Amino acid sequence: MAKLTATPLSALVDEPVHIRVTGLTPFQVVCLQASLKDEKGNLFASQAYYKANEVGEVDLERDPSLGGDYRGVHPMGLLWSLKPEKLLSRLAKRDVMNSPYQVHIELRSPYFPVKGIAISPLMDSLTLERWYVAPGVTRILVKEGRLRGALFLPPGEGPFPGVIDLFGSTGGLLEFRASLLASHGFAAFALAYWGYDDLPSHLEKIDLEYFEEGIEFLLKHPKVLGPGVGVVSVCKGAEIGLSMAVNLKRIKATVLINGPNFVSSDPHVYHGQVNRPVPCNIEFVTTNALGLAEFYRTFEETADKDSKYCFPIEKAEGHFLFVVGEDDKNLNSKVHAHQATAQLIKSGKKNWTLLSYPGAGHLIEPPYSPLCSASRIPFVIPSISWGGEVTSHAAAQEHSWKEIQKFLKNHLIPDTSSQL
Protein backbone atom coordinates (compact mmCIF):
# COMPACT_ATOMS: atom_id res chain seq x y z
CA MET A 1 0.00 0.00 0.00
CA ALA A 2 1.43 3.36 -1.05
CA LYS A 3 2.48 5.69 1.78
CA LEU A 4 3.34 9.41 1.44
CA THR A 5 5.53 10.97 4.15
CA ALA A 6 7.06 14.40 4.76
CA THR A 7 9.50 15.48 7.47
CA PRO A 8 8.90 17.85 9.17
CA LEU A 9 5.18 18.35 8.70
CA SER A 10 5.34 21.76 10.37
CA ALA A 11 8.21 24.18 9.68
CA LEU A 12 9.15 27.70 8.68
CA VAL A 13 8.52 28.49 5.03
CA ASP A 14 12.26 28.86 4.40
CA GLU A 15 13.06 25.40 5.80
CA PRO A 16 13.24 22.32 3.55
CA VAL A 17 10.94 19.32 3.82
CA HIS A 18 11.92 15.74 2.98
CA ILE A 19 9.14 14.14 0.91
CA ARG A 20 9.10 10.38 0.23
CA VAL A 21 6.77 7.71 -1.13
CA THR A 22 6.99 4.04 -0.17
CA GLY A 23 4.93 0.94 -0.90
CA LEU A 24 4.74 1.36 -4.68
CA THR A 25 5.38 -1.40 -7.21
CA PRO A 26 8.87 -1.41 -8.73
CA PHE A 27 9.30 1.38 -11.33
CA GLN A 28 5.72 2.57 -10.91
CA VAL A 29 5.07 6.08 -12.25
CA VAL A 30 3.12 8.39 -9.94
CA CYS A 31 1.95 11.98 -9.83
CA LEU A 32 2.60 14.19 -6.81
CA GLN A 33 0.37 17.26 -6.54
CA ALA A 34 0.62 20.24 -4.17
CA SER A 35 -1.95 22.95 -3.52
CA LEU A 36 -2.71 25.77 -1.11
CA LYS A 37 -5.17 28.64 -0.80
CA ASP A 38 -4.01 32.09 0.23
CA GLU A 39 -5.90 34.36 2.61
CA LYS A 40 -8.09 35.62 -0.22
CA GLY A 41 -9.02 32.09 -1.25
CA ASN A 42 -6.84 32.09 -4.38
CA LEU A 43 -5.67 28.60 -5.33
CA PHE A 44 -2.01 27.83 -6.08
CA ALA A 45 -1.14 24.36 -7.41
CA SER A 46 1.71 22.29 -8.84
CA GLN A 47 2.41 18.73 -9.89
CA ALA A 48 5.34 16.52 -10.88
CA TYR A 49 5.74 12.95 -12.16
CA TYR A 50 8.14 10.45 -10.57
CA LYS A 51 9.17 6.86 -11.24
CA ALA A 52 9.75 4.56 -8.27
CA ASN A 53 13.01 2.66 -7.91
CA GLU A 54 13.38 -1.11 -7.91
CA VAL A 55 12.00 -1.40 -4.37
CA GLY A 56 8.97 0.81 -5.03
CA GLU A 57 10.21 4.03 -3.40
CA VAL A 58 10.38 7.69 -4.48
CA ASP A 59 12.62 10.10 -2.61
CA LEU A 60 12.49 13.74 -3.76
CA GLU A 61 16.00 14.34 -2.42
CA ARG A 62 17.32 11.65 -4.76
CA ASP A 63 14.94 11.11 -7.64
CA PRO A 64 14.28 13.41 -10.60
CA SER A 65 10.90 14.68 -11.66
CA LEU A 66 10.22 13.38 -15.18
CA GLY A 67 7.73 16.12 -16.04
CA GLY A 68 5.05 18.41 -14.74
CA ASP A 69 5.87 21.87 -13.38
CA TYR A 70 9.60 21.14 -13.17
CA ARG A 71 12.11 18.49 -14.18
CA GLY A 72 15.17 17.10 -12.44
CA VAL A 73 16.15 16.56 -8.80
CA HIS A 74 14.53 19.36 -6.81
CA PRO A 75 13.53 18.32 -3.27
CA MET A 76 11.34 21.43 -2.80
CA GLY A 77 10.10 21.75 -6.36
CA LEU A 78 6.48 21.07 -5.47
CA LEU A 79 6.46 24.24 -3.35
CA TRP A 80 8.45 26.72 -5.42
CA SER A 81 6.69 25.69 -8.65
CA LEU A 82 3.20 26.46 -7.27
CA LYS A 83 1.27 28.53 -9.82
CA PRO A 84 -1.85 30.64 -9.30
CA GLU A 85 -5.14 29.49 -10.77
CA LYS A 86 -6.05 33.17 -11.03
CA LEU A 87 -3.38 34.73 -13.22
CA LEU A 88 -1.45 37.76 -11.95
CA SER A 89 -1.77 36.61 -8.33
CA ARG A 90 1.20 36.93 -5.96
CA LEU A 91 1.52 34.70 -2.92
CA ALA A 92 2.19 37.16 -0.08
CA LYS A 93 1.23 36.20 3.49
CA ARG A 94 -0.56 38.93 5.42
CA ASP A 95 -1.28 37.38 8.82
CA VAL A 96 2.14 35.99 9.66
CA MET A 97 1.52 35.39 13.36
CA ASN A 98 -1.67 33.39 13.71
CA SER A 99 -1.84 30.89 10.88
CA PRO A 100 0.46 29.01 8.53
CA TYR A 101 -0.13 28.15 4.92
CA GLN A 102 -1.68 24.71 4.69
CA VAL A 103 -0.05 22.92 1.75
CA HIS A 104 -1.89 19.78 0.68
CA ILE A 105 0.21 17.07 -0.96
CA GLU A 106 -1.57 14.28 -2.84
CA LEU A 107 -0.33 11.09 -4.44
CA ARG A 108 -2.13 9.76 -7.53
CA SER A 109 -1.57 7.68 -10.63
CA PRO A 110 -0.88 9.86 -13.69
CA TYR A 111 -3.85 10.95 -15.78
CA PHE A 112 -4.38 13.25 -18.75
CA PRO A 113 -5.88 16.65 -17.82
CA VAL A 114 -8.57 16.35 -20.48
CA LYS A 115 -12.33 16.76 -20.07
CA GLY A 116 -14.09 13.44 -19.87
CA ILE A 117 -11.14 11.62 -18.34
CA ALA A 118 -11.68 10.93 -14.67
CA ILE A 119 -9.10 12.01 -12.12
CA SER A 120 -7.32 8.95 -10.82
CA PRO A 121 -8.17 7.84 -7.27
CA LEU A 122 -6.25 9.33 -4.36
CA MET A 123 -3.54 6.94 -3.17
CA ASP A 124 -2.43 8.96 -0.11
CA SER A 125 -2.23 12.55 1.09
CA LEU A 126 -0.85 14.77 3.83
CA THR A 127 -0.83 18.44 4.84
CA LEU A 128 2.22 20.61 5.51
CA GLU A 129 2.15 23.63 7.79
CA ARG A 130 4.39 26.41 6.49
CA TRP A 131 4.90 29.14 9.08
CA TYR A 132 6.30 32.65 8.67
CA VAL A 133 7.20 32.99 12.34
CA ALA A 134 9.11 30.75 14.74
CA PRO A 135 7.81 29.93 18.24
CA GLY A 136 8.54 32.73 20.70
CA VAL A 137 8.84 35.55 18.17
CA THR A 138 6.80 38.58 19.21
CA ARG A 139 5.16 41.20 17.01
CA ILE A 140 4.74 44.80 18.14
CA LEU A 141 2.49 47.04 16.05
CA VAL A 142 4.29 50.37 15.68
CA LYS A 143 2.34 53.61 15.67
CA GLU A 144 4.76 56.08 17.20
CA GLY A 145 4.86 59.66 15.97
CA ARG A 146 4.82 59.40 12.19
CA LEU A 147 6.14 55.85 12.12
CA ARG A 148 3.90 53.01 11.01
CA GLY A 149 4.95 49.38 10.83
CA ALA A 150 5.55 46.20 12.80
CA LEU A 151 8.57 45.25 14.90
CA PHE A 152 9.41 41.55 15.23
CA LEU A 153 11.63 40.40 18.09
CA PRO A 154 13.20 36.95 18.55
CA PRO A 155 12.62 35.09 21.82
CA GLY A 156 15.00 35.94 24.65
CA GLU A 157 16.50 39.09 26.10
CA GLY A 158 18.91 39.88 23.27
CA PRO A 159 20.27 42.25 22.31
CA PHE A 160 19.64 41.37 18.66
CA PRO A 161 21.01 42.96 15.48
CA GLY A 162 18.46 45.44 14.15
CA VAL A 163 17.21 45.47 10.56
CA ILE A 164 14.76 47.76 8.74
CA ASP A 165 12.77 45.92 6.08
CA LEU A 166 11.49 47.86 3.04
CA PHE A 167 9.30 46.77 0.14
CA GLY A 168 8.46 48.74 -2.98
CA SER A 169 5.67 49.94 -5.19
CA THR A 170 2.98 47.63 -3.80
CA GLY A 171 2.65 49.93 -0.79
CA GLY A 172 1.00 48.88 2.44
CA LEU A 173 2.66 46.88 5.18
CA LEU A 174 4.28 43.58 4.19
CA GLU A 175 5.60 41.61 7.15
CA PHE A 176 6.55 38.16 5.88
CA ARG A 177 10.27 38.89 5.39
CA ALA A 178 10.64 40.71 8.71
CA SER A 179 8.93 37.88 10.61
CA LEU A 180 11.30 35.37 9.02
CA LEU A 181 14.34 37.53 9.83
CA ALA A 182 13.19 37.63 13.46
CA SER A 183 12.83 33.86 13.35
CA HIS A 184 16.55 33.76 12.55
CA GLY A 185 17.71 36.10 15.29
CA PHE A 186 17.20 39.65 13.99
CA ALA A 187 15.12 42.45 15.48
CA ALA A 188 13.32 43.24 12.22
CA PHE A 189 11.26 46.38 11.68
CA ALA A 190 8.84 46.15 8.74
CA LEU A 191 8.49 49.84 7.95
CA ALA A 192 5.55 51.06 5.87
CA TYR A 193 5.90 54.37 4.04
CA TRP A 194 2.79 54.70 1.90
CA GLY A 195 -0.62 53.14 1.34
CA TYR A 196 -1.06 52.04 4.95
CA ASP A 197 -3.05 53.41 7.89
CA ASP A 198 -2.79 57.23 7.87
CA LEU A 199 0.32 57.33 5.67
CA PRO A 200 -0.01 59.02 2.24
CA SER A 201 -2.29 57.08 -0.09
CA HIS A 202 0.22 57.59 -2.92
CA LEU A 203 3.85 58.65 -3.12
CA GLU A 204 4.67 62.26 -3.89
CA LYS A 205 8.10 62.41 -2.23
CA ILE A 206 10.50 60.27 -0.22
CA ASP A 207 11.09 62.03 3.09
CA LEU A 208 14.37 60.60 4.35
CA GLU A 209 13.78 62.11 7.78
CA TYR A 210 10.93 59.60 8.20
CA PHE A 211 13.36 56.72 7.66
CA GLU A 212 15.89 58.40 9.94
CA GLU A 213 13.22 58.35 12.63
CA GLY A 214 12.81 54.64 11.94
CA ILE A 215 16.53 54.07 12.61
CA GLU A 216 16.35 56.04 15.87
CA PHE A 217 13.24 54.13 16.98
CA LEU A 218 14.90 50.78 16.33
CA LEU A 219 18.16 51.64 18.09
CA LYS A 220 16.34 52.96 21.17
CA HIS A 221 14.70 49.59 21.79
CA PRO A 222 16.43 47.81 24.71
CA LYS A 223 16.58 44.51 22.84
CA VAL A 224 18.32 45.98 19.76
CA LEU A 225 22.08 45.74 19.44
CA GLY A 226 23.79 48.96 18.41
CA PRO A 227 25.55 51.01 17.33
CA GLY A 228 24.12 50.60 13.81
CA VAL A 229 21.37 48.86 11.87
CA GLY A 230 20.94 46.95 8.64
CA VAL A 231 18.50 47.51 5.79
CA VAL A 232 16.91 44.82 3.61
CA SER A 233 15.15 46.30 0.61
CA VAL A 234 13.70 45.48 -2.79
CA CYS A 235 12.61 47.49 -5.86
CA LYS A 236 11.53 51.03 -4.83
CA GLY A 237 12.49 50.04 -1.31
CA ALA A 238 16.04 49.37 -2.53
CA GLU A 239 16.17 52.83 -4.09
CA ILE A 240 15.26 54.21 -0.66
CA GLY A 241 17.67 51.84 1.07
CA LEU A 242 20.57 53.10 -1.03
CA SER A 243 19.54 56.72 -0.47
CA MET A 244 19.43 56.04 3.27
CA ALA A 245 22.89 54.47 3.25
CA VAL A 246 24.31 57.51 1.43
CA ASN A 247 22.59 60.22 3.47
CA LEU A 248 21.91 58.84 6.95
CA LYS A 249 24.16 57.75 9.78
CA ARG A 250 24.34 54.42 11.60
CA ILE A 251 23.52 52.17 8.64
CA LYS A 252 26.15 49.44 8.74
CA ALA A 253 24.83 46.93 6.19
CA THR A 254 22.45 47.44 3.27
CA VAL A 255 20.91 44.66 1.17
CA LEU A 256 19.70 45.96 -2.21
CA ILE A 257 17.52 43.49 -4.13
CA ASN A 258 16.87 44.55 -7.74
CA GLY A 259 16.79 48.28 -7.14
CA PRO A 260 17.89 51.38 -9.04
CA ASN A 261 20.99 53.34 -8.04
CA PHE A 262 19.26 56.65 -8.72
CA VAL A 263 15.98 58.46 -8.02
CA SER A 264 13.58 56.76 -10.40
CA SER A 265 10.45 58.71 -9.43
CA ASP A 266 9.27 60.87 -6.53
CA PRO A 267 11.96 63.29 -5.28
CA HIS A 268 14.04 62.38 -2.23
CA VAL A 269 14.00 65.16 0.38
CA TYR A 270 16.36 65.51 3.36
CA HIS A 271 16.65 68.64 5.49
CA GLY A 272 15.50 70.84 2.65
CA GLN A 273 17.78 69.28 0.04
CA VAL A 274 15.91 67.77 -2.91
CA ASN A 275 17.21 64.98 -5.14
CA ARG A 276 14.97 64.98 -8.20
CA PRO A 277 13.99 62.00 -10.38
CA VAL A 278 16.08 61.03 -13.38
CA PRO A 279 14.45 61.67 -16.78
CA CYS A 280 13.07 58.49 -18.29
CA ASN A 281 12.24 57.33 -21.81
CA ILE A 282 8.61 56.25 -21.70
CA GLU A 283 8.86 55.29 -25.37
CA PHE A 284 11.09 52.38 -24.36
CA VAL A 285 8.35 50.65 -22.35
CA THR A 286 7.55 47.41 -24.16
CA THR A 287 4.61 45.01 -24.08
CA ASN A 288 5.34 41.30 -24.34
CA ALA A 289 3.31 38.60 -26.09
CA LEU A 290 1.07 38.16 -23.04
CA GLY A 291 0.23 41.88 -22.89
CA LEU A 292 2.44 42.52 -19.85
CA ALA A 293 4.40 45.76 -19.52
CA GLU A 294 8.20 45.62 -19.28
CA PHE A 295 9.82 48.77 -17.88
CA TYR A 296 13.48 47.74 -17.71
CA ARG A 297 14.57 49.88 -20.68
CA THR A 298 13.05 53.17 -19.54
CA PHE A 299 16.34 54.65 -18.30
CA GLU A 300 18.44 53.43 -21.23
CA GLU A 301 19.30 56.93 -22.45
CA THR A 302 19.86 58.53 -19.04
CA ALA A 303 20.86 56.72 -15.84
CA ASP A 304 21.93 53.54 -17.63
CA LYS A 305 24.49 55.53 -19.63
CA ASP A 306 25.69 58.28 -17.32
CA SER A 307 26.71 57.94 -13.68
CA LYS A 308 26.07 61.65 -13.09
CA TYR A 309 22.47 60.67 -12.36
CA CYS A 310 23.42 58.08 -9.76
CA PHE A 311 23.57 58.26 -5.98
CA PRO A 312 27.10 59.06 -4.70
CA ILE A 313 27.37 55.61 -3.16
CA GLU A 314 31.06 56.12 -2.44
CA LYS A 315 30.03 58.50 0.40
CA ALA A 316 28.30 55.73 2.32
CA GLU A 317 30.12 54.36 5.35
CA GLY A 318 28.48 50.95 5.57
CA HIS A 319 28.68 47.76 3.51
CA PHE A 320 26.51 46.72 0.57
CA LEU A 321 25.13 43.44 -0.71
CA PHE A 322 23.65 43.70 -4.21
CA VAL A 323 21.24 40.91 -5.17
CA VAL A 324 20.48 40.91 -8.90
CA GLY A 325 18.04 38.91 -10.99
CA GLU A 326 19.47 39.01 -14.50
CA ASP A 327 16.03 38.34 -16.04
CA ASP A 328 14.43 41.29 -14.22
CA LYS A 329 11.89 42.81 -16.64
CA ASN A 330 10.98 45.74 -14.38
CA LEU A 331 14.41 47.30 -13.84
CA ASN A 332 17.75 46.89 -15.56
CA SER A 333 19.07 45.72 -12.22
CA LYS A 334 22.28 44.18 -13.52
CA VAL A 335 23.35 47.46 -15.12
CA HIS A 336 22.40 49.47 -12.04
CA ALA A 337 24.38 47.20 -9.70
CA HIS A 338 27.44 47.24 -11.96
CA GLN A 339 27.30 51.04 -12.11
CA ALA A 340 27.18 51.27 -8.33
CA THR A 341 30.04 48.83 -7.80
CA ALA A 342 32.10 50.63 -10.47
CA GLN A 343 31.69 53.85 -8.48
CA LEU A 344 32.90 52.07 -5.35
CA ILE A 345 35.87 50.53 -7.15
CA LYS A 346 36.83 53.93 -8.59
CA SER A 347 36.85 55.35 -5.08
CA GLY A 348 38.99 52.50 -3.77
CA LYS A 349 36.16 50.99 -1.76
CA LYS A 350 35.89 47.25 -1.08
CA ASN A 351 32.74 47.45 1.03
CA TRP A 352 30.49 45.55 -1.33
CA THR A 353 29.43 42.11 -2.55
CA LEU A 354 27.50 41.38 -5.75
CA LEU A 355 25.31 38.30 -6.21
CA SER A 356 24.01 38.09 -9.77
CA TYR A 357 21.67 35.28 -10.79
CA PRO A 358 20.99 34.32 -14.44
CA GLY A 359 17.34 33.45 -15.00
CA ALA A 360 16.12 35.12 -11.80
CA GLY A 361 13.40 37.77 -12.02
CA HIS A 362 12.60 40.92 -10.09
CA LEU A 363 10.79 39.58 -7.01
CA ILE A 364 13.52 37.60 -5.27
CA GLU A 365 11.92 36.45 -2.00
CA PRO A 366 12.69 33.93 0.77
CA PRO A 367 13.36 30.31 -0.29
CA TYR A 368 10.64 28.06 -1.69
CA SER A 369 8.35 31.02 -2.45
CA PRO A 370 6.64 30.54 -5.83
CA LEU A 371 7.88 32.72 -8.65
CA CYS A 372 5.63 35.70 -9.29
CA SER A 373 6.43 36.49 -12.91
CA ALA A 374 3.65 39.07 -13.37
CA SER A 375 1.11 40.92 -11.26
CA ARG A 376 -0.75 44.17 -10.82
CA ILE A 377 0.33 47.02 -8.55
CA PRO A 378 -1.56 50.16 -7.46
CA PHE A 379 -1.66 53.13 -9.84
CA VAL A 380 -0.04 51.27 -12.77
CA ILE A 381 -2.60 50.59 -15.47
CA PRO A 382 -1.06 47.60 -17.29
CA SER A 383 -0.09 44.40 -15.55
CA ILE A 384 3.66 44.22 -14.99
CA SER A 385 6.10 41.53 -16.05
CA TRP A 386 8.63 40.83 -13.30
CA GLY A 387 10.56 38.21 -15.29
CA GLY A 388 12.21 35.04 -14.09
CA GLU A 389 12.49 31.39 -15.07
CA VAL A 390 10.98 29.11 -12.44
CA THR A 391 13.89 26.78 -11.64
CA SER A 392 16.63 29.42 -11.88
CA HIS A 393 14.62 31.85 -9.79
CA ALA A 394 14.08 29.23 -7.09
CA ALA A 395 17.82 28.53 -6.92
CA ALA A 396 18.53 32.27 -6.61
CA GLN A 397 16.08 32.63 -3.73
CA GLU A 398 17.56 29.71 -1.82
CA HIS A 399 21.17 30.87 -2.22
CA SER A 400 20.60 34.60 -1.68
CA TRP A 401 18.58 34.15 1.52
CA LYS A 402 21.49 32.39 3.22
CA GLU A 403 23.92 35.03 1.96
CA ILE A 404 21.70 37.89 3.15
CA GLN A 405 21.62 36.52 6.68
CA LYS A 406 25.36 35.86 6.67
CA PHE A 407 26.06 39.39 5.39
CA LEU A 408 23.87 41.03 8.04
CA LYS A 409 25.42 39.04 10.87
CA ASN A 410 28.93 39.78 9.61
CA HIS A 411 28.42 43.53 9.74
CA LEU A 412 25.97 43.97 12.61
CA ILE A 413 27.34 41.57 15.23
CA PRO A 414 30.84 42.34 16.58
CA ASP A 415 33.46 39.68 15.82
CA THR A 416 31.01 37.52 13.83
CA SER A 417 33.38 37.35 10.85
CA SER A 418 36.08 35.80 12.99
CA GLN A 419 33.66 33.12 14.16
CA LEU A 420 32.47 31.99 10.69
Catalytic residues: 235, 328, 362
Q: Which of 395, 402, 405, 406 is nearest to 371 (CA)?
A: 395
Beta strands 29-37; 101-108: pairing state: antiparallel
How far apart (Å, rounded) are the C-alpha atoms in residues 293 and 39?
Answer: 27
DSSP states of 76-126 as a string? THHHHT-EESSTT-----S-TTT--EEEEEEEE------TTSPPPPEEEEE
How far apart (Å, rounded) are the C-alpha atoms in residues 240 and 255?
Answer: 11
The beta-strand segments (E) located in 176-242 are: 187-191, 206-207, 224-234
Handedness of CA 219, 220, 222, 223 (dihedral sign): negative
The SS3 of residue 73 is coil
Q: In Å, how far from its chain's centre is CA 178?
A: 11
The helices-and-strands tally (H runs, E runs) of the chain is 7, 25
CB count within 10 Å of CB 55 equals: 10
Cis peptide before 8 (omega within 30 of 0): yes
- Three-state helix/strand/coil letters over 296-351: CCCCCCCCCCCHHHCCCHHHCCCEEEEEEECCCCCCCHHHHHHHHHHHHHHCCCCC
Do residues 262 and 236 touch, judged by C-beta distance below 8 A?
Answer: no
Beta strands 187-191; 147-153: pairing state: antiparallel
Backbone angles phi, psi at 65, to 5 degrees: -75, 135
Give the ranges where 221-266 is alpha helix by DSSP (H).
236-247
Question: Over the Cα atoms of the chain, what is R_g?
Answer: 22
Do residues 181 and 175 touch, judged by C-beta distance below 8 A?
Answer: no
